[in-house]
Structure 1
């Protein structure tokens, strides 16, 4: 098991030629498969085209390098439209908000982990109210550009450490499955019950007007801990702003991603 930071920046070595063909620039995520499909290559000699290595062509990912059989493993993404579309989706996982299907905001991803042999995403590490927990990829419903959507009961299946995402670790520690189902319920309640991280954005039992009123009720009067940007990257509210009804309505009109960012950065 490798985390994304351990792969990004590694030299890429051609075994048959014994040369470095570049460095890993980024990991291209296939949101439908929940896997890393390509590694893009950073090479200063390539000024225009975007080149990459299909993950299935990777021989190994070690501590010091990624190895491929030869330079023939490298492809030009501009020549493969479907693959280029996948790159242009710009799906990322780290630093992305995590929300349940019913709109409960759980936290933010600090890192994600992959099987270095298959490229399959094993899971992610989340920060929730200052605590780090891990969640298996089987609970993910959607890898979105702005938000990752997970199953409603995901909060009941947090793991205490990212090590527990590793299949080999899980084989050696059979009791993990039981720990998943009994993960410190008091802690889960404390984390998910925090008003800063439980702004409901979607609820089938509430109409939209009632939902917006509830958001206003929770956020009104709270002070912002950082500047909040709109969808165009312009400052919408400055740090220290005490939110009014009009401010919250303005954030609602900007869309879910702005409202999520606002709700994650207010004083308790």
Structure 2
């Protein structure tokens, strides 16, 4: 928020990012609202799918034609009126246990989907995958009761999970050969951070091992559960 929005075709700033419009049903950022001194009456926004890039200093779009008036898009206007906020929202389990509040959240630059949140629990920061989020409310986020047992200690773990999910999508679209090749590309050269065992108790990957193509294939052949366990326990 606050970054300038640059039109690539004009090479000019068309405003600044004022806020995120959250879609609570999809768990995604659907629009970026724009702050501009000439637009005081109506609310202008850019659909997230129209964003070309999110850089360190600016957000880029193809042209100012990406800008829409939210009042002209009923669905978008309804989302704005829901006033869903994530940062500073309280996080509570389905059974009413207060876990803390959201300090920050992650967004997939390509899709706008929210893969996870950073939860401030007392003095401790925890990362929680959106898989455990049940409801994005106006002031409160409801999560599954088992969420506290699945906190991640680094953003890398969340990224690995996203990569694993991406390979599953590739499998559905292009078959197992494409999936296996993608898995090898993602993990080859990374270091295993724990011992990995098959369902029968055989250790196939040792902690500290730098993964070769053969190691990854061995995990693939041991079954999807074993491979997911490996993908969630690697480091650069």
Tell whether the structures are fold-level matches, with TM greater than 0.5: yes
Higher RCO structure, 1 or 2 (CA under 8 Å, sep 6+): 1
| Cα distance in 1 for residues equivalent to 2:193 and 2:148 | 19
Q: 1:103, CA displacement in angstroms?
A: 1.1
Q: Which residue of 1 aligns with 2:158?
A: 165
SS of the residue 2:111 aligns to = coil
| Conserved 8 A contact 1:125-1:162 | no
| Conserved 8 A contact 1:163-1:169 | no
| Cα distance in 1 for residues equivalent to 2:144 and 2:29 | 22
| Conserved 8 A contact 1:12-1:67 | yes
Q: Which residue of 1 aligns with 2:122?
A: 129
Q: 2:77 aligns with which of 81, 84, 88?
A: 84
| Conserved 8 A contact 1:25-1:41 | yes
The number of aligned residues is 175
1:49 aligns with 2:32: no
Q: Which residue of 1 aligns with 2:105?
A: 112
| Cα distance in 2 for residues equivalent to 1:138 and 1:69 | 33
**CA shift in 2, pair 1:79/1:169, >3 Å:** closer
Q: Which residue of 2 aligns with 1:75?
A: 68
Q: 2:91 aligns with which of 98, 112, 118?
A: 98
| Cα distance in 2 for residues equivalent to 1:175 and 1:150 | 28
| Cα distance in 2 for residues equivalent to 1:130 and 1:151 | 22
Q: Which residue of 2 aligns with 1:40?
A: 33
Q: 1:141 aligns with which of 104, 125, 134?
A: 134
Q: Which residue of 1 aligns with 2:19?
A: 26
TM-score by length of 1: 0.60
Q: 1:129, CA displacement in angstroms?
A: 2.5
| Cα distance in 2 for residues equivalent to 1:138 and 1:73 | 31
Q: Which residue of 2 aligns with 1:256?
A: none
| Cα distance in 1 for residues equivalent to 2:139 and 2:56 | 31
Q: 1:163, CA displacement in angstroms?
A: 3.9
Partner deviation per Cα, 1:12-54 (whole Å, 9 max, x = no partner): 1111111110010001000000000000001111110100000
TM-score by length of 2: 0.68
SS of the residue 1:121 aligns to = coil
What does 1:177-196 align with in structure 2 at a 5 Å threshold?
A: none
For the aligned residue pairs, the C-alpha RMSD in angstroms reads 2.4
Q: 2:9 aligns with which of 4, 11, 16?
A: 16
| Cα distance in 1 for residues equivalent to 2:96 and 2:127 | 19
Q: Which residue of 2 aligns with 1:244?
A: none
Q: Which aligned runs of 4 or more in structure 1 are off by greater than 2 angstroms?
A: 161-179
Q: 1:169, CA displacement in angstroms?
A: 7.9
| Conserved 8 A contact 1:124-1:162 | no
